[in-house]
Chain A
Amino acid sequence: MILADGISLLCNDMQVDPQDIVMLVLSWHMKAATMCEFSKQEFIGGLQSLGIDSLEKLREKLPFMRSEMKDEHKFREIYNFAFSWAKEKGQKSLALDTAIGMWQLLFAEKEWPLVEHWCQFLQARHNKAISRDTWSQLLEFARNVDPALSNYDAEGAWPYLIDEFVEYLTENSIVQIGQMSDWSQKC
Chain B
Amino acid sequence: MSAPKKKNFQIEAFKHRVVVDPKYAEKTWKILEHAIHEIYNHNASGLSFEELYRNAYNMVLHKFGEKLYSGLVSTMTAHLKEIAKHIESTQGGLFLEELNRIWAEHNKALQMIRDILMYMDRTFIPSTHKTPVHELGLNLWRDNIIHSSKIHKRLQDTLLELVQHERTGEVINRGLMRNVIQMLMDLGSSVYQEDFEKPFLDVSADFYRLESQQYIECCDCGDYLKKAEKRLIEEIERVSHYLDTKSEPKLTNVVEKEMIESHMHRLVHMENSGLVNMIVNDKYEDLGRMYNLFRRVSTGLALIRDVMTSHIREIGKQLVTDPEKLKDPVDFVQRLLDEKDKHDKIISSAFNNDKTFQNALNSSFEFFINLNPRSPEFISLFVDDKLRKGLKGVTEEDVEIILDKVMMLFRYLQEKDVFEKYYKQHLAKRLLSGKTVSDDAERSLIVKLKTECGYQFTSKLEGMFTDMKTSQDTMQGFHAAAGADLAEGPSLTVQVLTTGSWPTQSVNTCNLPSEILGVCDRFKTYYLGTHTGRRLSWQTNMGTADLKATFGKGQKHELNVSTYQMCILMLFNKADRMSYKEIEQATEIPASDLKRCLQSLACVKGKNVLRKEPMSKDIAEDDAFYFNDKFSSKFYKVKIGTVVAQKESEPEKQETRQRVEEDRKPQIEAAIVRIMKSRRVLDHNNIVAEVTKQLQSRFLPNPVVIKKRIESLIEREFLERDKTDRKLYRYLA
Q: Could you tell me which A residues sit within 8 Å of B by CB distance?
A: 92-93, 131-134, 136-137, 140, 155-157, 159-160, 163
Q: Report B-chain residues with C-beta under 8 Å of the C-beta of A159.
A: 707, 711
In the complex formed, the residue of B with least CB distance to A155 is B685
Binary per-residue interface labels of chain B (713-733) against chain A in the complex, 1 for a CB within 8 Å, 0 otherwise: 011000001000011000000
Tell whether, in the assembled complex, residue B721 and residue A133 are in contact, meaning their CB atoms are under 8 Å apart. yes
12 contacts between A and B (CB under 8 A): A92-B715, A133-B711, A133-B715, A134-B711, A137-B721, A156-B684, A157-B683, A157-B685, A157-B726, A157-B727, A159-B711, A160-B707
- Of all chain A residues, the one with the shortest Cβ separation from B727 is A157
Report if A160-B715 is in contact (Cβ < 8 Å); known contacts: A133-B721, A140-B726. no
When the two chains form their complex, are residues B726 and A131 in contact, meaning their CB atoms are under 8 A apart? no
B715–A156 CB distance below 8 A: no
The 6 closest A-B pairs by CB, nearest first: A157-B684, A157-B727, A133-B714, A160-B707, A131-B715, A160-B708
Known contacts A131-B711, A140-B726, A159-B711; 19 further A-B pairs (Cβ under 8 A): A93-B715, A131-B714, A131-B715, A132-B715, A133-B711, A133-B721, A134-B711, A136-B721, A137-B721, A137-B726, A155-B684, A156-B684, A156-B727, A157-B684, A157-B685, A157-B707, A157-B727, A159-B707, A160-B704
Interfacial chain A residues near B711, Cβ < 8 Å: 131, 133-134, 159-160
B698-713 interface code vs A (CB 8 A; 1 in, 0 out):
0000001001100100
Chain A: CB-nearest residue to B703: A155
Contact residues, B52-91 vs A (CB, 8 A):
none
Closest residue of chain B to A159 (Cβ to Cβ) is B711
Nearest CB on A from B635, distance (A): 60
Give bound CA distance, A41 to B146, whole Å.
117
Residues from chain A with a CB closer than 8 A to the CB of B685 are 155, 157
Give chain B's interface residues, CB within 8 Å of chain A. Answer: 683-685, 704, 707-708, 711, 714-715, 721, 726-727
A157 neighbours in B (Cβ, 8 Å): 683-685, 707, 726-727
The residues of A that contact B684 with a CB separation of less than 8 Å are: 155-157
Measured between alpha carbons, how far is A136 from B720 in the docked complex, in Å? Answer: 12
Question: In the complex, A134 Cα to B715 Cα: how many Å?
Answer: 10
Given the complex of chains A and B, what is the CA–CA distance between A140 and B725 in angstroms? 11
Contact residues in B for A137 (Cβ distance below 8 Å): 721, 726
Measured between beta carbons, the chain A residues less than 8 angstroms from B727 are 156-157
CB of B721 to closest CB in A, whole Å: 7
Min Cβ gap A141→B in Å is 10
A49→B727 CA distance, assembly (Å):
35
Which A-chain residue is minimally distant from B708 (CB atoms)? A160
Within the complex, the shortest CB–CB distance from A154 to chain B, in Å, comes to 10
Among residues of A, the one whose C-beta sits closest to the C-beta of B717 is A92
- When distances are taken between beta carbons in the complex, the residues of chain B under 8 Å from A156 are 684, 727
Query: A131: nearest residue on chain B (CB-CB)?
Result: B715
A144: nearest chain-B partner, CB-CB? B726
Closest CB in chain A relative to B598 CB, distance in Å:
42
**Chain B positions within 8 Å of A93 at CB level:** 715
A133 contacts across to B, CB distance below 8 A = 711, 714-715, 721
The answer for the CA separation of A137 and B729 in the assembled complex, in Å, is 13
B131, chain A: closest CB distance, angstroms: 76
Q: List the B residue with the shortest CB-CB distance to A93.
A: B715
> Chain A CB within 10 Å — which of B707, B715, B726, B727 has the most?
B726
A110 to B651, CA, bound (A): 48
B245 to chain A, nearest CB (A): 59
Verify A163–B704 contact, CB threshold 8 A.
yes
A174 to chain B, nearest CB (A): 21
* B residues in contact with A160, CB < 8 Å: 704, 707-708, 711
Which residues of chain A are near B714, meaning CB under 8 Å? 131, 133
The distance in angstroms between the C-alpha atoms of A92 and B708, with both chains bound, is 16
Q: Taking the nearest CB of chain A, how far is it from the CB of B1, in angstroms?
A: 114
> A134 CA to B712 CA in the complex, in Å?
11
Q: How far is the CB of B726 from chain A (nearest CB, A)?
A: 6
**Alpha-carbon distance A140/B724, docked complex (angstroms):** 11
Question: In chain B, what residue has the closest Cβ to A140?
Answer: B726
The CA-CA distance from A140 to B711 in the complex, in Å, is: 16
Q: Please name all residues of chain B whose beta carbon is closer than 8 Å to the beta carbon of A163 when the two chains form the complex.
A: 704, 707
